[in-house]
Amino acid sequence: MDRTTIEDALFPDCPIRNILARLCDKWSLLVIYTLNKTGGGPIRFKELQREIPDISQKMLTVTLRTLEEDGYVTRTVYPEVPPRVEYALTPRTHSLLPHIDALIGWAKENMATIISNRKSIGRV
């Protein structure tokens, strides 16, 4: 999947599709949530990977690169041996966190009903 080119054929400047397609993939919100949970950063790659044990190293790398490209995460490389790389949330992401928290709250409130609905039509 090309994570850098997301465009709606009818509405190529649509901010909803363009932004949410990248932000709401399988891992991006979880990475942002985890960075926030650990204090917003800075956090090293391996620490972040330990916090999300079911993400592969490759997928975490791809997700962090995408988040960095969009300005949600900063990546700082220190000239040490071995190299030390740290990730942190940007001010833009801090302005997004209340919306993510609201979505998480909504999901917690509605999860049981949604799972029940899925079961009622045999999709679980």
- pLDDT tens-digit series, residues 74-120: 999 999 888 889 999 999 999 999 999 999 999 999 999 999 998 88
- For the segment 60-77, the average pLDDT, to the nearest whole number, is 95
* Rounded-to-10 torsion of CA 56, 58, 63, 65: 150
Predicted pLDDT at 39: 79
Instruction: Report the alpha-carbon distance of residue 108 to residue 117 in Å, rounded.
Output: 15
Predicted pLDDT at 5: 54
pTM of the model: 0.80
Give residue-wise pLDDT tens across range 1-33: 455 555 556 666 777 877 888 888 889 999 999
Instruction: Report the alpha-carbon distance of residue 103 to residue 66 in Å, rounded.
Output: 21
Predicted pLDDT at 61: 95
Predicted pLDDT at 29: 93
Predicted pLDDT at 7: 58
Neighbouring CB atoms inside 10 A of 87's CB total 22
First to last CA, the chain: 27
Query: Residue 46 half-sphere exposure, CB side, CA atoms within 13 Å?
Result: 2
Amino acid occupying residue 54? D
Predicted pLDDT at 1: 43
Predicted pLDDT at 20: 82
Fold of 15-90: Arc Repressor Mutant, subunit A (1.10.10)
